[in-house]
Amino acid sequence: MASQYFQLTLGLLVLINIFIGSPSFADDGWNRFRGANASGAIDSAQIPLTWSDTENLAWKTALPGHGSSSPIVRGGRVYLTAYSGYALDVEKPGDLANLRLHTLCVDLESGKIVWDETIEPSKHEQEASHRIIDHGYASPTPTVDDEAVYAAFGPSGLVAYDLTGKMLWQRSVGTNTKGFGAASSPILYKDLVIINASIEDQAAYGLNKKTGEVVWRTEDIREAWTTPSLVVLPDGSTELVINQKNWILGFEPETGKELWRCKGIEDYVVPCVVVEGDMLYCSGGRQNRTIAVRAGGRGDVTATHKIWEIVAGANVTSPLYHDGYLYWSHDKSMALCVKASDGQEIFRERLATSGRIYASVVMAGDRLLMTTRDAGVIVLAAEPKYRELGVNRLGSESESFNATPAIVGNSVLIRSDQFLYRIAATIKK
């Protein structure tokens, strides 16, 4: 009888929490680049099909500077990075000494900026050029947990703030620069912040998340702008995966010890590895190649764990796995779909934009969102057939949309180089 009473009481408490005590948004699934382990998807999200500056716009917040990093969310707060003081105008970049690197906290419900903290740049930051300004000085997406937010700024290092904006630590992970600048985003694993510093130091780091001290450093990470991924194997163990030029690498995340390697793409790599079960989908290179490899091997696993390889994929944008298929918002202005089991191409369609695409595809419910730089967000059905559901535009012609959106509850956070927008079902204004 006591047991039945306990179960009934527990059930009532759960219901009360759901209907009364729960927050109005489920936000803890998007605390890093592309959400939980970079999946890019919230299956339960029910977002509006259409939006604009006057329809289904919950709020619009002016940012203190430009940036390409994605927004992330934790505990009703949005975090993102920006840069100001330099290179906002490609024709008149100004003085590099005036560059400031911002980490921002924004209230999810109101859109008001809660805090805005800045650091000065390293003396090793690149001078402005058309190529650099195309992406900017705030491209890596931060990550956040219940204690702190961790932001990466390439040669200017990693910085951690507590959730009130107080700086906890700052750590350099190398000062080299190359190409269009920094891109790899930090991730969290247990008590570590892990960062691929291939461009800055030809290395990857595991840092103590409380102090910023180096726990491990693994060398010889080459030509990789990619964000690391974690894969949980059937036996419950976890591997860290980094896709780099020539090799796909698997590491022990606690120590940085290399476990296995598979021959990979013979070119630089930007997209993050997409994980489904113990399968890894690795794309990149100017030729656009994708390799499917099974995690969990030891040594050189090219002959034993490489499943397929195709000349298709993307140079910059990361794919999304859904229901047996991989989808890309291709950086060469295309929508691409291949079968995950064997790489068979299902469709390749030109998107209605004149420029390149730098934002990766995300999925909200049964819809794919493909963000273009200048022609709005193209909404497709999440199915292996090209079916366009709409095109939604925000902002002015002067804005550029490089950042991958974030899905939060039944809303979407979209970031341009000037504003942060929250899209949610609202009454037309």
Token digits of residue 34: 């592309």
- SS3 of 215, please? strand
Number of domains in the chain: 1
Measured between alpha carbons, how far is 219 from 374 in angstroms, rounded to an integer?
Answer: 39
In terms of Cβ atoms closer than 10 Å to its own Cβ (0-12, 13-18, 19+), residue 411 is buried
Is residue 392 in a domain?
yes
Token digits of residue 26: 């489920």
Measured between alpha carbons, how far is 247 from 275 in angstroms, rounded to an integer?
Answer: 17
**pLDDT-flagged residues of the chain (< 50):** 1-27, 427, 429
Measured between alpha carbons, how far is 158 from 191 in angstroms, rounded to an integer?
Answer: 16
In one-letter notation, the amino acid at residue 237 is S
Is residue 428 in a domain?
no
- pLDDT tens-digit series, residues 377-425: 999 999 999 999 999 999 998 899 999 999 999 999 999 999 999 999 8
What pLDDT score was predicted for residue 400? 93
Q: Other C-beta atoms within 10 Å of 356: how many?
A: 17
Beta strands 299-300 and 258-263, pairing class = parallel
What pLDDT score was predicted for residue 28? 58
What pLDDT score was predicted for residue 295? 98
* Cα 267–chain centre separation: 21
Secondary-structure breakdown of the chain: helix, strand, coil percentages, each rounded to the nearest 5: 10, 40, 50
Token digits of residue 322: 């859904």
Is residue 361 in a domain?
yes
pTM: 0.92
Is residue 73 in a domain?
yes
Contact between residue 90 and residue 133 where contact means Cβ atoms under 8 Å apart: yes
Measured between alpha carbons, how far is 366 from 26 in angstroms, rounded to an integer?
Answer: 18
Is residue 8 in a domain?
no
Sign of CA dihedral 95, 404, 102, 424: positive
In one-letter notation, the amino acid at residue 86 is Y
CATH code of the domain covering residue 310:
2.130.10.10
What pLDDT score was predicted for residue 91? 85
Is residue 104 in a domain?
yes
Is residue 180 in a domain?
yes
Is residue 1 in a domain?
no
Domain of residue 194, residue span: 25-423
